[in-house]
Amino acid sequence: MTVTAPAQTTPARGSGAAMTALALGGFGIGTTEFATMGLLPQVAETFGISIPAAGYAITLYALGVVVGAPLIAGLAARLPRKGLLIALTVALAVGNGLSAVAWDTGSLLAARFIAGLPHGAYFGISAVVAAALVPAHRRGTAVARVMVGLTVANLVGVPAATAAGQQIGWRSAYLAVAAIEVVTALALARSLPRVAAPRDASVAAELRAFRRLPVWLALATGMVGFGGMFAVYSYISPITTEVTGLAESAVPWVLAVFGLGMTIGATFGGRFIDRSVAGSVLGSMAVMVVVLVLFGLLASSPVAAIALVFLIGFVSQVLASALQVRLMDASPDAPSLAASSNHSALNVANGAGAWLGGLAIAAGWGLVSTAWVGVALSVAGLAVVGVSALVERREQASA
């Protein structure tokens, strides 16, 4: 069966199995991206470096996503979507295998960069394929369903990887992800319909998306605003033990709470997005500001901190899915590059949030200062959302 993008008007037969396979790949990616944050103390101990220095593994992975997402999506514009997605999962397996056998800090950083290269293209193209398998009015739900793999990773995969890293070594986490991506490649080969690239697809056509101001504003929202979440979450392991005062064994459970928030956010977020994409972006960004302020004030209280970690996960997932659909709407003739670039933007936020949070810690301001770095970034993101709304109104008025 061949499905042609963009979205069709009736669901494709067997789309459920295909979306499950796509979500499985996202599960592996989510585990490798976020598990590093929970394993920073173990990585730092292995190589004899500080926790902020180990945080560069997060930054290099994010840089790989930033570089790889637009590059792969643009160059592969004419390739059949099924074969491309399978190739990306194989590349993810290789990158994580290299991470598991890293022999020093430099080789780990290089491996994390390589592992990050396929990340954004996989999620972006998966979103476009998922949207092509359902009626147009269900696109938000379809994109959120694919992203469930990422959320379940934070609910199950990341806590399990963190616990395994504490007990048998952090390398086991990356080996497990490599195995998951191999299984994903086999599942995609079996269940995913053949989805053709758009007939007029080309690198030039995809790049035309970047002539549109709404595309850049949506990307800027992710780059700046999402950094607020990453400024805190990148250092959630030491915050849990040193600020909240919980034992190291509690870290996987705190990560699971974050994942639960993401999973519920994905479950309900699709419904919000189906009703209003712009409203979902604005609302989730505003709520993120409030939640991070409260985290900065209440991080020393176990009950409050855990509740706020849940809310951070919930709101971040709604925002990520809403931005994904927003970019697809802003660039209907180049959805693959626009959707993939969303993950570049989010990983600029990942790298910048981790870096700025690390600078605050290194300056002696304490671990809780990461929350205030997050507030500043989220407020800046909310300002970008406001500018985007004004631009959209102006365009509608002149149309």
Q: Residue 209: its pLDDT value, please?
A: 65
Q: Are strands 194-196 and 2-4 parallel, antiparallel or unpaired?
A: parallel
Q: Which two tokens stand for residue 182?
A: 């191999």
Q: pLDDT confidence of 145, banded at 50, 70, 90?
A: confident
- What percentage of the chain exceeds 70 in pLDDT? 85
Tell which residue, 382, 328, 18, 320, has the closest CA to residue 187: 18
- Distance (Å, whole) CA 252 – CA 354: 19
Is 172:164 a contact under the CB 8 Å cutoff? Answer: yes
Q: Are the C-beta atoms of 392 and 245 separated by less than 8 Å?
A: no
What are the chain's domains?
2-398 (1.20.1250.20)
Dig out the tokens for 360 from the structure: 């605050």
Q: Which residues contact 14 (CB under 8 A, 6 or more apart)?
A: 1, 191, 193
Token pair, residue 289, equals 């500001």
Specify the pLDDT at position 44: 83
Q: What pTM was computed for the model?
A: 0.72
Q: What are the C-alpha distances in Å from 323 to residues 30, 273, 392?
A: 18, 10, 15
pLDDT at 207: 66
d(CA 247, CA 207): 49
Q: Give residue 364's region: left, alpha or beta (phi > 0; psi -120 to 50).
A: left
Q: Determine the pLDDT at residue 15.
A: 67
